Amino acid sequence: MLRIIPQSVHKIAKEQLDIQAISIAETLSKAGFETYLVGGCIRDLLLGKAPKDFDIATSAHPEQVKSQFKRCRLIGRRFRLAHVRNGKEVIEVATFRANPAKQPLNSKDTRQGADPNEADGHQVSENGLLIRDNCYGSVEEDVMRRDLTINALYLNVTTMDIHDYINAIPDINAHAIRVIGDPEIRFREDPVRTLRVIRFKAKLKGFRVNDATQNALQRALPLLSEVSPARRFEELLKFFLTGHAQSSFQHLIDFNALHYLLPVTAKYLETANSKALYDQALINTDDRIAINKHVTPAFLMAVFLWPTIRELKIGYMNKQNIPSFIALQKAVTEIIEKQNLVTSIPKRFALAMREIWELQERLPSCSLKRCEAIVQQRRFRAGYDFLLLREECGEIKPGLGDWWTEYQVATIRKKKELISTRQKNKRKQRVEKK
């Protein structure tokens, strides 16, 4: 039953809202479309947090949204969305969706409200997995298409009233994470919802997953194998590039879900004595995001796969008696192929990962010519940071990282001195070993 909460009760001020989101919502409302700010932005404001994104839901179909804005792009096939751009800011506008129809795969949605621009409005596979969900409906139906109650509040920017159809506010007040509808069915429709539950549990500290959702989630996790590797990679990034990477990693472990995103990492952790490398990398990631510094997915993926690659490289060296660099390349190829079966890594990231790993072999080089060439490499900074991380976590002895830190700012004369000293030390170490 709809409950309308006036501004005098919820206390969210219009000044707390994004100016561009307000403008877009008002434009659509004036054009005759029912329009709201929706989802996580309302939840965060009620929790006293500053939202990172403001999303809009409307009765306007994607093409109708596009007709209202010059800088609007329609994206997605499974879920058709409009992205309205203003400067660097992008506001996502979604059309109200209807309740799922039990249509067979490849059937066409001919119900009233289906977008004429979509050949297949709504498709469901035989086991209940939503293949496409572009069948549009009313706001009341749209509520039931959302995943969690805490993400299903609608704010009218004209009246500043909040519309709560499913007792979302009591769940927010109780810090409860609950799936809308039957969790068994909802997870079967889209297994990625299991990951969303885990992600919000990691993000919203102090929130708990209600029992029905928790039990259904554990049973539904194997369904993630039906999700495409490309989509699973997208979901993986959401865990680690939104400011709560360390918490997300631990929750994936706790929920026994890491295997469905990072099987190589999960298998390594079964026998590893420490996950310090992962934890420190994720702490550093969260710190960088907190101060709006860039984070590359390639670096994180390099971290996640490195311990297994390192072990495999050593195994190749011992069994096949091949040089370290060749063994590394063999290990890298094998592990990336395995990971791509689960989360397809874009080629630009896979290439960067290879360069980061290969720099771990090249950074101990000592000749002036080699050092200068290494510093000029595009991935040098990432490889250098990776080296520092390995030292910080005790994987390798400290010293090389400090040497490269000094080398980067040294004069040519000082660089020669540094290289000469390092060469002498290496010769001394070889003599002592004999």
- Tens of pLDDT along 253-304? 999 999 999 999 999 999 998 899 999 999 999 999 999 999 999 999 999 9
CA distance 193 to 198: 9
pTM for this one? 0.85
Of 53, 120, 279, 385, the catalytic one is 53
In whole angstroms, what is the distance from residue 276 CA to residue 281 CA?
8
| Average of per-residue pLDDT across 404-431 | 90
Which residue in 44, 55, 109, 142 is the catalytic one? 55
Q: Is 53 a catalytic residue?
A: yes
pLDDT in tens, 359-398: 999 999 888 889 999 999 999 999 999 999 999 999 999 9
Longest Cα separation, the chain: 85
What is residue 428's predicted lDDT score, i.e. its pLDDT?
A: 79
Residue 99 confidence class, pLDDT cut points 50, 70, 90: confident
Q: Is 55 a catalytic residue?
A: yes
Given 133, 147, 164, 171, the catalytic residue = 147
Q: What is each CA distance from 23 to 26, 28, 140, 361, in whole angstroms?
A: 5, 9, 24, 53
Count Cβ atoms within 10 A of the Cβ of residue 314 and give its class: 0-12 exposed, 13-18 middle, 19 or more buried.
middle
Residue 171 annotated among the catalytic residues of the structure: no
Answer yes or no: are the C-beta atoms of 118 and 107 closer than 8 Å: no
Task: Determine the Cα–Cα distance for residues 103 and 126; give it in Å rounded to an integer.
Answer: 9
Tally helices (H) and strands (E) across the chain: 20, 12
User: 96 and 58 in contact (C-beta within 8 Å)?
Assistant: yes
Which CA distances in Å does 118 have to 46, 78, 157? 36, 10, 30
pLDDT score recorded for residue 86: 85
DSSP state of 99: P
